[in-house]
Chain A
Amino acid sequence: MIAWAIARQTVNEALRRRIMWVFLISGFALIALMPLFGYLAPKDSQTVLRSLGLAAILLAGLFITIVTCIYLIPVEIERRTIYTVLSKPVQRFEFVLGKFLGGFITVSINVLAMGVVFLLMLYLQSLRKTPDAGFFPWITSGSFAPEMVRGIFMTFFQMLLLAALTIFFSTFTTPIVNFFLSFGIFMVGNLSSVTDSLTTNTNPIVRTTGQIIHYLLPNFGNFNIQNALIHPTNEITNPVEYVRNNIIYALIYSAVLLILAIIVFDRREV
């Protein structure tokens, strides 16, 4: 209950931050600009629209997550408001959990908003049956693709993992260091196809390094399913099971990061 109260307060504060709105509006703008590529062949136009739409949600979501979460704990320490909180019957783990929940809810609201705009663009496209007729002449004709929801859903869990990672780093680093650390690990974690192939390398040093990176660092690349969404002919045996496994992975790994964050924050002198 205490963690929930902190979470609500965190959401209110986070939504007031202008930088987050800048990223959100940029995300909306990117999505809204996608149909301008309608001069390409219809199939190419669909591919570009869908891939860039999902990329826009991810990019904006990524920056919103990092920028929101890196400040949540350090700002409280810097402003010394944490003393007021911790002097009340609030456990440190409740504070960390509350901050994480608040940060993640903020990110979720943003990802959801962008997802809705993206689906709306696809829907408007589907209303335009021919190149020269229908609503909104600047929108290219195309088909509504409800399967894109799966892509947005995976971005949602990717951001959950990233929020937990950023909160973990925020318990012992400055926001600037945290920004680069989180961003860097997100990039490495996205190269999971590469790190996975390193685990079978013949060189033992490369192989061990590959295994450590692949199994110990959060694997953000797991959540990239956009290729199959963009190219429906790329058939996958069991997409539902894959999504389910990744949700479990995101929950487990986020729990690990939060436990680490609690342990580190518990030991920290504030």
Chain B
Amino acid sequence: MASNMNRIPPETNKRRTILGIAGVVLIVLAGLMQNRIDPQRKEYHDKENVETTNAALGGLNNEFLLLPLLGFREAAAGLLWVRCDEFFHSGDYDAILPLVRLITWLDPHADNVYVTGAWHLDYNFTDASERSDRRYIAPALSLLDEGIKNNPNIPDIKFEKGWQCFDKVKDFATAEGAFWQAIRGPKGDFKTVGDKDQDNEGYWPNAAPLKDVHMLAHTLEKRGRLADAMEIWDMALERSKVVLAKKPDDFAGKSMHDAEVHNRAEDQQRFFDRYSYTNHSANNPTKYPAVYAVANTNGGKVGPFDVALSATIDVPRPHVFKINGRVNLADGGRIDVRITDWHYKDRVAAKDLRALEPPDLSQTILIDSISIRKAKFSREMDMSKDPKMYSFSNKDKLYKIVLTFNSRTTSPHIQDYSGWSGEGLIDGKSDRVMYDMDPGQLATTMIEGQGGKGPAWDGKTIPFKNYGQPPRIIRMTFKITEDQAMGNKPITNADIVPNDNETTIMLK
């Protein structure tokens, strides 16, 4: 070896030494460069972490494994999404959830997957009568929250959260928050009109599309905050006018603008019809407007309208509930029905959503509604066909059946006399009247002469921290045993118990 080395010409040795030194210097430089690149690379891969990467790699089939290992997580996610689409069309809904989970781990910026995945969870798991499995709402909302956290700049996921809370859960407080989040946009500027206005598709990066603004206004209407809703319509009109000015012949733009004008006018009309005593007396022939409830407190003749809710429940077969009742409300109204475990609690899905499944599959919850026809309502709730969804397996062997009329979710012609927040309604049996005292449930500020801060409408003062009146609902609660749920023992008026504040008026 030594003799070999001796044969190497000195210039070669010198070159090797220089190269060696240069190599060491360069590798140190490369390390330093890597140090400089790392913080920037984290920005590109900010939502990827070891845990979700490992989980994703562990869950992938061999055919999809190569792409993420070669750095193409998005391509694997794209192919999995194509597979998901096939499952959607073939109706294989159970197969979709693990794929949605894998895709969002592989590509945390796949906003459409969060949106579609949450919609799928909320709407597509149903019983034999097409009633949604409400246990999936918790993972759906958690998935959307994760999507919002990973994509704070994208309004679509926030909009979807708002829409699902509005439409599915009737949680208007959360919906309002989500729509505001969407509208404020990445720069917190919801009034600036962006370059993409002309096609009405989006206002990126200045603000969310107009549909987000519209839904915020509708949510405020649902919450009975008409002044706020009208302000939002004004804001929408301001923006759509700019869009129209740029493209005056655009039919979609015109329709949008006309709808905004109509909706704003309708809000104003309803506000006056329902709450302005002066205006009502002059113009409105409605028999029992909400304003009369207020008038009663001021010495008027007509007080809150007694709906006299009553109901009987028969159990013709095990876990089949035949509900019949009466309520003094017009056709078009609906009575919400809620059948749950006695101690049912809405569970929040774990933050590190490993699987898109309900946090507790043993819970039983049915939510449905019955339409009112000629002051009567009747429907059979068959929970016997879906034992996986309605296991009736809680330890207490006690169940709760709750019937509710909620003004905030009823038809406009009923709201004309009930008011947005039930101001015009009362029940002769006072224990059937409930107030949702959640401070988040801000109510109307509209009642004339009260400025929204005065005493409540029916002679009582309802303490409410924020302003206006809390929403008033009419409700009755039955507490039944396993024997009664099986039909072995009748359900009678003796099973009617005082309403509890723990049972939410939201549909979850």
Contact = CB atoms under 8 A, between A and B. Distances in A.
A94 interface: no
Interface in A34-59: 37, 39-41, 43-44, 47-48, 51-52, 54-55, 58-59
Interface string A228-245: 101101111110011001
Contacts of A191: 53, 69
B249 interface: no
A213 to B, nearest CB: 11
A257 to B, nearest CB: 9
Interface SS of B by simple majority: helix
B110 A47 contact: yes
A226 B67 CA distance: 13
B274 interface: no
B58 to A, nearest CB: 13
B153 A40 contact: no
Nearest to A192: B41
B31 A215 contact: yes
B71 A266 contact: no
A194 B53 contact: yes
B44 A236 contact: yes
A197 B50 contact: yes
Interface stretch (B32-40, B279-287, B304-312, B352-360): B32-40
B50 A194 contact: yes
A233 B82 contact: no
A234 B31 CA distance: 27
Interface size class of B (residues with CB under 8 A): 35 or more
B109 interface: yes
A231 B70 contact: no
B43 A249 contact: no
Contacts, number: 162
Contact of A222 (B37, B67, B77, B154): B37
B318 interface: no
A62 B70 contact: yes
B23 A51 contact: no
B85 interface: yes
Interface in A159-192: 186-187, 190-192
Contacts of B67: 55
A37 B19 contact: no
Interface in B5-34: 12, 15-16, 19-20, 22-23, 26-27, 29-31, 33-34
A225 interface: yes
B16 A263 contact: yes
Contacts of A44: 81, 85, 112
A54 B53 contact: no
Interface size class of A (residues with CB under 8 A): 35 or more
A47 B72 CA distance: 13
A121 to B, nearest CB: 15
Interface in B90-138: 107, 109-112
Contacts of A47: 74, 78, 81, 110, 112
Contacts of A190: 69-71
A210 to B, nearest CB: 10
Contacts of B70: 55, 58-59, 62, 186-187, 190
Nearest to B35: A215
A221 interface: yes
Contacts of A260: 23
Contacts of B29: 252
Contact of B22 (A62, A225, A227, A259): A259
B314 interface: no
A44 B20 CA distance: 51
A255 interface: yes
Nearest to B46: A234
B204 interface: yes
B375 interface: no
Contacts of B35: 215
Please indicate which of the listed interface residues A44, A54, A237, A246 has the most CB atoms of chain B within 10 Å of its own CB. A44
A252 B30 contact: yes
Interface string A58-73: 1100100000000000
Contacts of A241: 40
A252 B111 CA distance: 37
Contacts of B37: 219, 222, 242, 245-246, 249
B40 A51 contact: no
Nearest to A201: B50
Interface string B233-265: 000000000000000000000000000000000
Contacts of B22: 255, 259
Given A196-B42, A215-B31, 10 more contacts: A44-B81, A44-B85, A47-B81, A48-B81, A51-B75, A196-B41, A221-B71, A230-B109, A242-B37, A259-B20
5 contacts: A44-B85, A44-B112, A242-B44, A245-B36, A245-B37
The 3 A-B pairs of least Cβ separation, nearest first, read A55-B75, A190-B71, A48-B78
